[in-house]
A and B are shown apart, each in its own frame.
Chain A
Amino acid sequence: GAVVSQHPSRVICKSGTSVKIECRSLDFQATTMFWYRQFPKQSLMLMATSNEGSKATYEQGVEKDKFLINHASLTLSTLTVTSAHPEDSSFYICSAMGEAFYNEQFFGPGTRLTVL
């Protein structure tokens, strides 16, 4: 199967700072990448969908100015949490989909963000 990586795997930051999370498809071209957030003991909630070269589509209730998504290439998408606050602490997971794997999403290992 295809491999998706995330970096960093965990990050601790101070309140008010910005944090960037990278999502890479290692062995395939990802035309679409998804960003999810998962709070402890809860399910995955879709935050946004990003297609290479175009603006991300955000789910209702997700602030696009706070969660900046960039999908500049077919193998890389980034999520920047701007002016992070403790309530942004969560497990952020990306997934990637490519034309070679019709409608199958491959998930990254997740990034644990803790905002102090």
Chain B
Amino acid sequence: TQLLEQSPQFLSIQEGENLTVYCNSSSVFSSLQWYRQEPGEGPVLLVTVVTGGEVKKLKRLTFQFGDARKDSSLHITAAQPGDTGLYLCAGERGKDSSYKLIFGSGTRLLVRP
């Protein structure tokens, strides 16, 4: 079972459309990160949200952390083909020697031109 469930698993949309990806858990995380990964490469950090209810914007991407720090969402406005990739949320657990990232199940996005 996946500790962090993402939905949808796969999304194929037309260029210019808006979309939202959800990341849900029954556990509380100290913070949550969003990554984008392209085929054959490592994931690249997009944002870290720390405070419950926090909203962060990165150009056309809007990230929100749930009030209870158990869930998060990523909204993309006017999607472009360059947004195509695997989007991963990851929750931070522990600190110092016990620190680890728990990755979500992933959402594969395809933006068609």
- Which size class do A's interface residues fall under? 20 to 34
> Quick check: which of B11-19, B40-48, B70-78 contacts chain A, the rest being far away?
B40-48
Q: A44 on the interface (CB 8 Å rule)?
A: yes
Which B residues lie at the A interface, using CB under 8 A?
2, 31, 40-45, 48, 88, 92, 97, 99-106, 108
- Seen from chain A, the residues whose Cβ lies within 8 Å of a Cβ on chain B are 4, 32, 34, 36, 41-46, 49, 51, 57, 91, 93, 95, 97, 103-105, 107-110, 112
A51 to B40, CA, bound (A): 26
Given contacts A43-B88, A43-B104, A110-B42, 13 further A-B contacts (CB under 8 A): A4-B42, A32-B97, A46-B102, A49-B97, A51-B97, A93-B42, A103-B92, A103-B99, A105-B101, A107-B42, A107-B43, A110-B40, A112-B40
**Which of B2, B42, B103, B105 contacts A108, CB < 8 Å?**
B42
